[in-house]
Structure formats: C-alpha cells, structure tokens
Chain A
Amino acid sequence: MMRKLANIVLLLVAVSLCYGLQLSKPHHGDLIGPIPARGKLGDTVVGRGFEIRAEKVEFARKLKADRFGDSKVLTTGGIWAVVTVEFAARAQSTTVAVASWRGPTGLTYDQTERLSFTDGLLPVAIDPGLPKKARLIFELRPDEASDAVVLVSEKLMSALDSQAEIWLGPVAIGPDGLPPGTVDTLDMTQPI
C-alpha cells in the first residue's frame, strides 16, 4: 500500500516537474531573437557591431524640416519625440538602420518615415574610430512618452545579433496631457 502511494506521489512530482519545464521553456522567438544590450540615457551601450549613446530626448508638437529646398512644418495628432544619439562602429564599418520606441504599455512605434529626406536620420553608415551623431524621430501618443525604451539595431531582422535597449526614464505628464518640456516647433534643419 505504502509503495503504491509512494509511486503515485513520485508520478505527481514528475508530472508537475515536466509541466514546470514546459511552462518555463523560452519561446522560440526569444531563443533566436535579438540579444539585448541595455543602458539608460547618457550611457554608452555596446553591441556587437556598434556603440550608441543617447544624449537627449526632446518633445515637440511640430517639426520643421526641409524637403527639396522647401521648408515644411509637420504636425501630428500625438507628439514628436526626437532622440539625439551618437553612434560608433566597433571592429568594422557598418550601417545602423532600425529604431523603435517602446512605450510603458508595450506599444511600439517605428521611427517615422515622414522626414525621409532630412540629414542625420537612419540609416547611418558608421566607421570605426569616427563617431557620428544622428536623430531618431518618432511620432507617438503623449501617454507613451514616459518610461519608454528606444530599441536600435543594425538590421530589421536582428536575430541573434545585438539590439541596444536604452531606457529613457520617467517623464512627468503636464495638465495638458503633454510632457512639460514639450516645445511648439523643433527645427530639424539645424545641424545636430
């Protein structure tokens, strides 16, 4: 009788162990996904092929940009977030092409394509020993501005390659629903 009971207990333990293993098994997408290199605003985040340091984040209601010599003002239903970064290549020349903004609720915004002709936007070609500044520009909902993470990688499918994850920290939201530092217009024609 005791032996039967012990067997049943052993079976239950084995079943729960297997179930636990199944639950904790990483998803296939996580196993072959990008490898995060984490840091915060101002840190130099070092990936396999490139280094990145986010210098500042600015918010604006409108952006001023040049298009074929014409000055254009871009409005938005949300806000513009402009992250100024400095890149450096590590062992060889490379190109950094992809950035996105992950808000506190997990909503993720790709960098905007509305300013495609402006200088200093991705993709940027970088060489070893020659740091280069760039702007990452996102159009997002104001409530996604605080505690955001900017994700930067060389290619869109950065499987098993590093992806910089830069935490931008908390941003207070003012009574008008916007971050307090939000300016009316940011001039993207100015050099970085």
Chain B
Amino acid sequence: MTAQIVDRESATSERKWRRRSLWSLVLLIPLSLAIESYDSVKALLGDSDLFPRRVAWGESARFGGSDWKLTDLRGAFGMSNLPPDSVPVLADFKVKIGDPDLQNRWLGCKVMLIDKDGRRWSPTSIVSLKATDNVQTCISAIFSGAKSGDTLNLRETFLVPKEATKSVRPAVGLASERPHFLLFQLEKD
C-alpha cells in the first residue's frame, strides 16, 4: 500500500519535472544560440556601417572623439580621360581634434558617398587633383600627429556615375564608432 503511494508520488513529481525541463528548453535554446553567436554578431556590428547618424548642413558632430563638419561637396566636371558618364566628386571636411589618440579612435576610417538607393562609393585612385599642402585624407590624418584643438582639412575624391551625382551624400565610418556612422546632409536637404 505504502509502496504504491510512494510510486504514485514519484510518478507525479517525475511528470512535473519533465514538464519543467521541457519548458526550460524554450528559454535555454534561444539563450544558448545567443551566447554562441555573441562574438560573431559583435564582429559583424563592429565591422559594418549600419546605422546612420544624420548631421544637418553646417553643423558639426562629435565622432571618434573629434568634431566633424562637412564644408563642401562638389563635382569636378569637364575632366578628360575618365570613364564615360562619370564625374569626380570632392568631399571636404573640417575636423576639430578632441581626443588626439587618432591611431586608436580613427582606426578603420572610411569616407564614402551614399546615394538614395543606398549604393556606396569608396574613394578613387583614378582621379588625383592637386590640393594645397594642408589638405589630408582621413588615413593620412591618423599619422599626422595632430594635437587636441587642432583643425584638420580632409578631402576625399570619388568617381561616381553622372546620374548619381544629385543624390549622393558623404558619410564617415570609424571602427571605434561602428555600427554607427555619420551621414552628412546638404544645404538643399
């Protein structure tokens, strides 16, 4: 008699634990997937420019420890020896250095142009226009030894198809700020 009661009790508790275990899987499986993929997701986010932070025309934005401002975006029409229907585009920035540790904060610096369809252009090496001595690129600025409070003039040159020139906007991405990046608006926006 007693043995039967014990049997019945252990059967109910077994069933209870079985149910608990099954329900805990609902939590544990997504949790283990999340832990497993954490590093990969982190690497993916740290490597891609995903979320734009819009910067209105004429304003500057704190990014990678410095204040970034777009000063000019213009096409250099009428150049020869270029692929058909392509236009060189120059993007000029003024950057006021805050944190002078550019070799860490500006690592992986990437300036690009993004059009209305989301297409992205990287700086070109086909076109090289003469610039004054104090104009640098983002990468060369990293090694310029700029101090806090200095203002740097950065210029990047792109080659874009003529149809895209109207809708392209300059953008800047830095490894220390990814997945966020700056997307500069123009005066007409």
Contact = CB atoms under 8 A, between A and B. Distances in A.
Contacts, number: 40
Contacts of B159: 127, 130
A91 interface: yes
Interface in A112-151: 125, 127-132
B119 A92 contact: yes
B118 A91 contact: yes
Nearest to A95: B122
A160 B119 CA distance: 22
B86 interface: yes
Interface string B42-59: 000000000000000000
Contacts of A93: 112, 120-122
Interface in B112-132: 112, 118-122, 124-125
A130 B122 CA distance: 13
Contacts of A125: 122, 124-125
A129 B164 contact: yes
B119 A132 contact: no
Interface residues of B, number: 17
Contacts of A128: 119-121, 161, 164
Interface string B75-112: 00000000101100000000000000000000000001
A129 B161 contact: yes
Interface residues of A, number: 10
B163 interface: yes
Contacts of A127: 121-122, 124, 158-161
A127 B85 CA distance: 13
Given A127-B160, A129-B163, A91 B120 contact: yes
Contacts of B112: 92-93
Interface string A165-183: 0000000000000000000
A127 B161 CA distance: 9
B120 A130 contact: no
Interface string A81-98: 000000000011100000
B125 to A, nearest CB: 7
Contact of A92 (B121, B124, B160, B164): B121
Nearest to B82: A130
Contacts of B120: 91-93, 128
Contacts of A130: 83, 85-86, 159-161
B83 A132 contact: yes
23 contacts: A91-B118, A91-B119, A92-B112, A92-B120, A92-B121, A92-B122, A93-B112, A93-B122, A127-B121, A127-B122, A127-B159, A127-B160, A127-B161, A128-B120, A128-B164, A129-B119, A129-B161, A129-B163, A130-B83, A130-B159, A130-B160, A130-B161, A131-B83
Interface of A: 91-93, 125, 127-132
Interface of B: 83, 85-86, 112, 118-122, 124-125, 158-161, 163-164
Given A92-B122, A127-B161, A128-B120, 13 more contacts: A91-B118, A92-B120, A92-B121, A93-B120, A127-B158, A127-B159, A128-B164, A129-B119, A129-B160, A129-B163, A129-B164, A130-B85, A130-B86
